[in-house]
Structure formats: C-alpha cells, structure tokens
Structure 1
C-alpha cells in the first residue's frame, strides 16, 4: 500500500481501540461516536482483508492480525507525539529526550534530576523508559543509554561505565556469610536478552566456586527494578547492579554482606550518527559523562 493511500483516520481509530480495549473508550478519546470508530475499523479490515479484533460484549481484544499491526502503529503515533511535543516546547524552552531501560531510568537517572535542574535550569529533560530498543533513526529521541557490548550500527557511541553486580539484602535479614544463603530466598530477574556472560546467580556461584545452596524458595521478576524493591522489602537476597542501588546502599536500606562483585555489561551513551547534536543535547551528554565518572569511582571504591 502506497503511503499516499494510507487510511490515517482508520489507523488512528484502530490504535486507540487496541490500546484502550474498547470502541467506546476510543471514541471518547478521539471525540467521535462509537459508531464512527466501528465504521473506521470495519473499513480498515475491509481494506486489509483481515479482521483485527475479537469482539466481546463491552470490550474488544486483538487477534493475531491485530497484534501484528498494533505495535507498529503505537510506536509510530508515540514518535509523532514526541516530535510535535519537541517542536512546541522549543518555542519557549529547550527539551532533550533520553531513552533508557526502566531500571536505569528509575534507579539512576531520576535520583540525579535535582542535580541536573540546579545546573541547567533552562533545559527540560524528557525521560523515555522502555526495555525495548528505541530506534533513534525514526524517533525524536536525542540520547539513548545502551546497555551491552555493542556494536550499535548507525549510532555514535561511547562507554560511560561498566556495571558491577553483587549480592545485596535488607540488613534485617542478618545475612553475613555464604552459609546464610541456605535460609533466605534468592531473588532473580529475567534478562531481556539472554547472553552467556549475563551476571546471573549461576555465574556468581561459578566465580565463588561454591555450589548453589538448597533453596526453600525463589522469587523471580521480569524487571530488575522490581527485584531491587523486593530486596529492599526484605523478601530475600538479590544479585543486582551496584550502580542502580547506590542510594539504597548509602541509606542503609541494603547491604552487600560479602564478596565477590562480578562484572556486568557496559553502559554506553549513544546518539544518531547523522543528526548533529544541538547545544542543549551536548550539554546533557556532558552532564551524563560527569555523572558516569562519579559512578565509576564509586564502583571502584566498592571493590
């Protein structure tokens, strides 16, 4: 289908209905009637030759064809919204967007926002947290924080710091030695991109040359940030990033009861190779480098 024939109104109605799970809710968001939304989606289904929803009483759900189409439209409309927001913000203030993982955004970037605002009050930051890779070539994102080994084609990248992982627990658990691991749950989280050198409990026990203890139970999470919160709450001992729990260690909410710490991957600062950074983007990149230098010193001192 050629671009000039794309049914934009129907695609917009489909995206809203898919995101909200309801033709009525989509109609309210788009300020039209539910009948109009239904007609738009019927027209789109007729044009594509596929039904896109399973229709139920008072709600709809995506079928296989709909699930193939929805993420593309969602990301596209998000990019439209971000680009328009940037244009409108630039009329009065400078806006720089940073894309990073959920855990890095919440545990590393957000605690540093007050420092950034005090140093650069004329620049607004937009933090885009997602564990899915954001394509800088098709979005308005200015800076991405990539976590891994690289390379990253089409991007200009530089290493910020290499992460370290160690066992940590709430001090109330009284974990002080390897023997204590037999009485507390191991907290795990799932890596989005499985790799043999990911810092997992299995790798940590291999480094210590200790067999994993018999566990009464384990806790597993899909997100590292949730695993950190579970450790803070005292639900077990977690092997997590020392960079992401620096504030928790400083506050005494978590302790590292024993060695060793093992290497994680490297955080990289990434920008689009064909998009010259503005002065405000360069300012943010400089600030990130300075924060990373401090983090690198903290991690080395933790050793």
Structure 2
C-alpha cells in the first residue's frame, strides 16, 4: 500500500510539475512527499526526476516508468468502476483522442453535452492528426476516419463520412469554378495530413472515377487539419476535407462545395479502443452517447 501511494505521488508530481503541489493534493507535507518519493526511487534503484530549485524534470527512466504507472492506476480505477457498475456509477476521467479539426469543431461541443448528463465524468481531449500515438498514449477512445492497420484495436463504426472539395466564395469568384477534376490543375491547392494519400485526390461521380495528383511543389501543406480548413476559409485555394469537418462552414457560407457531384469513397468515422482493456462504465456511456449524436447530426445523403 505504501508503494501504491508513492506511485500516486509520482504520477501527480509528473503531471503537476512539482512535488510540493502533488503533496498538497494528496494531503502530504513537503517533507513527507520528498521522503516518499526518495523511498520509491530507492526501491527501484533509479532516479525518476532531475531536481532543480524551480522544477522537476523526468529522467528517461522516469518517463518510461510514468507510462506504466498511469496504466496501472487506470487499471485499478477500472477495477473499482467494474465493482460499482451494478450501482450505475459513471464517474472518473475519460481520455479521448481525435484529429485536430474534427475534435475542435465536432467533438468538443458534444463533450460539453456529455458532461452535463454525467457531471462526475471529467474529459481529456487529445488532438493530433498523427496516427503514431494510438497505442503509446494512455487513451480510452480514439476517433478516426477509417481504421488504421492495427489488430490490437477494436473498431466500432459511428457514422458515414466522405471527403469533398471546398473553397471560399471569394476565391471562387476570383479564380472561377472547375466543372471537372481534370481542370483542378488550374487552381491553388491545400493539402493536409500524411503526404501520399492526402495529395492524391481520388474522386467519384456515380460509376466514374478521376485521380488528381496535387503538385506539392506549388501547394500549401500542413499536418494540421484545422490549419488547412482555415487556409481554405481565408481563400488560399481548394481543399479536400471531411464533410464532418466543414459542415458548419458550409451552413454559414464560409466555404462552398466545389464540384459537389464529385466526392471520395466512404471513409466512415470509427471509435477505436484497445482490445485487451476493460471498458469502464464512463467509456461505454461516452460510446453510446457519441453513437446517438452522430446519428442525430449525420449530414443528409449527397450534402
């Protein structure tokens, strides 16, 4: 039990950036907190923090240990939640990962609704367009378009989705409006995401398919979908965006669909979560809530 409390202190100190703040949170004096951390480091025979007069900085060993400690404490919290599941207690922190644009403009408002329904749940929203962190980060749910090639994740479909071409009204007034993908080379382009698929715009119209390869040497590029969306709104060119990312901009007239009869193949929205992790009541509640909200908010077919 002493070691468990020392681990909690270590995790709090890493998250708060100071041992005194962590001690206060756990009801410990500075001397008691320091002694408890030193005892933990002694039992591990390694230094977890580099200490200065102003702050604590994790060592490489500390960063590695922190990942495992977070998972261990989360498992204990999940076990406690499992025991209380019959009491319908939905509480605790739920960690959700999403792409930057989608997370800001779709999921963030929905999280506010969810916490009004379940005020004892605290959300943590991690925004990244990268796929590299899906396993290493301590997240409960990952929301993505499509399913990454990772067999350790369970994929639950939430909503249909396709990508569409869009641009600002002012840009189209200046440059004109293309009527076929083979005219796209005459326009400016905005590319977001991983180079490769993001620079190859494969568009479909009924049974017809067209592939346009964006000339990257002349295109605006970013790894952040929110930046690409803002560039499109600011009139810097044509972008290929998820209909979910720009639905509010289309409704407000900030963006206009270009060649609306052309769009990409379906790339549904999925909730991804580890196959071997107990799904706590708070996570199940969020999954069910998101499924319902996606159904309610789904764009009409062809929009």
TM-score bin, normalised by smaller chain = 0.5 to 0.7
TM-score, normalised via structure 2 length: 0.65
Alignment of 1:260-299 (within 5 A): 260-263=262-265, 265-268=267-270, 284=289, 287-288=292-293, 290-291=295-296, 294-295=298-299, 298=300
2:98 is aligned, of 97, 101, 112, to 101
- For structure 1, the residue ranges without an aligned partner over 5 or more in a row are none
- Once the two structures are TM-superposed, the CA of residue 261 in structure 1 deviates from its matched residue by 2.5
**2:201 & 2:302 partners in 1: Cα distance?**
23
Q: Is the 8 A contact 1:93 1:122 kept in 2?
A: no
1:16 paired to 2:12 = yes
1:281–1:239 CA distance, 2 compared to 1 (3 A): closer
Hey, what does 1:37 align to over in structure 2?
Answer: 33
**2:23 & 2:95 partners in 1: Cα distance?**
32
Hey, what does 2:241 align to over in structure 1?
Answer: 240
Post-superposition Cα deviations, 1:218-268, rounded to whole Å, max 9, x if no partner, equal: 3423x4345434544556554321122211111112223346432363223
1:72–1:16 CA distance, 2 compared to 1 (3 A): same
- Once the two structures are TM-superposed, the CA of residue 200 in structure 1 deviates from its matched residue by 0.6
Hey, what does 2:250 align to over in structure 1?
Answer: 249
Q: Is the 8 A contact 2:200 2:213 kept in 1?
A: no
Q: Is the 8 A contact 2:166 2:257 kept in 1?
A: yes
Q: Secondary structure at the match of 1:149?
A: coil
Alignment of 1:1-303 (within 5 A): 7-77=3-73, 99=96, 101-103=98-100, 104-110=102-108, 129-130=125-126, 132-133=133-134, 145=143, 147-149=145-147, 158-174=156-172, 176-177=177-178, 178-179=184-185, 181-182=187-188, 186-189=190-193, 199-204=197-202, 207-210=210-213, 212=215, 214-215=217-218, 218-221=220-223, 223-234=224-235, 237-258=238-259, 260-263=262-265, 265-268=267-270, 284=289, 287-288=292-293, 290-291=295-296, 294-295=298-299, 298=300, 300-302=301-303
Q: Is the 8 A contact 1:99 1:134 kept in 2?
A: no
1:281–1:172 CA distance, 2 compared to 1 (3 A): closer
1:31–1:112 CA distance, 2 compared to 1 (3 A): closer
1:204–1:172 CA distance, 2 compared to 1 (3 A): same
Q: Is the 8 A contact 2:192 2:221 kept in 1?
A: yes
Q: Is the 8 A contact 1:89 1:95 kept in 2?
A: no
- Once the two structures are TM-superposed, the CA of residue 133 in structure 1 deviates from its matched residue by 4.2
- For structure 2, the residue ranges without an aligned partner over 5 or more in a row are 179-183, 204-208
TM-score, normalised via structure 1 length: 0.65
Post-superposition Cα deviations, 1:170-220, rounded to whole Å, max 9, x if no partner, equal: 3333454435634x6x3423x5xx9x7xx41235599534551642x7342
